[in-house]
Structure 1
Amino acid sequence: MASNSRELAKRPQVDPMDEPSAEWGWHGGFPKGTVIAGIISAILLPLMLIGHSVSYTEILWMVIPALVIVFGLINSALRKRHAWRR
């Protein structure tokens, strides 16, 4: 740990011998896969309304989650675009 002086705290590095995937960046999420799954889900949810829909509750349970997913995708894209750079 750093003391009160202006020393920088050393962070432990992952040794590629212990975890070979650290070398090529596997320690993270699936950003492209998440976006693709979100787009597919946002398209398929309203498509499930085609056919026999019984009530407005059914419509709400298809449309509102699709809108939430679309809002999340837009929010994620905007946050990624305007993220603070190190």
Structure 2
Amino acid sequence: MASTEVERHTGVDVEDVPSAQWGWSKENRRLQQVGGVIAAVFLLLMTHGNHQGHVEDWFLIAGAALLLGFVARSVYLGRNSDTR
């Protein structure tokens, strides 16, 4: 008869990914969020330039806002998740 037990897999197999032994296979959510904020600030700093039109500025501002929206969503979902 087949077992009804669920086999839990809690990590990455070291044979498949050798760097998992040192803990390098996990995502670092905080580092991704900081990187997103730094990228958004860089986009906003690029609005100061020698271009004549302001179409580029609107695209840079929209890109930074979109990026900050993704970071805010990540922070919100990270605080309200049941698993960490």
TM-score (norm 1): 0.70
Which amino acid is 1:36 matched to? V
Q: Shift of residue 13 of structure 1?
A: 6.6
Percent of residue pairs identical? 25
Structure 2 regions of 5+ residues with no counterpart? none
Q: 1:13 to 1:37 in 2, by over 3 A?
A: closer
Bigger Cα Rg: 1
State how 1:1-80 maps to structure 2 within 5 Å. Answer: 3=2, 6-9=4-7, 11=9, 14=13, 16=14, 18=15, 19-80=17-78
Q: Shift of residue 36 of structure 1?
A: 2.4
Q: Is this contact kept in 2: 1:53–1:59, CA < 8 A?
A: no
Q: 1:64 to 1:10 in 2, by over 3 A?
A: closer
Structure 1 regions of 5+ residues with no counterpart? none
TM-score (norm 2): 0.71
More relative contact order, 1 or 2 (CA 8 Å, 6+ apart): 2
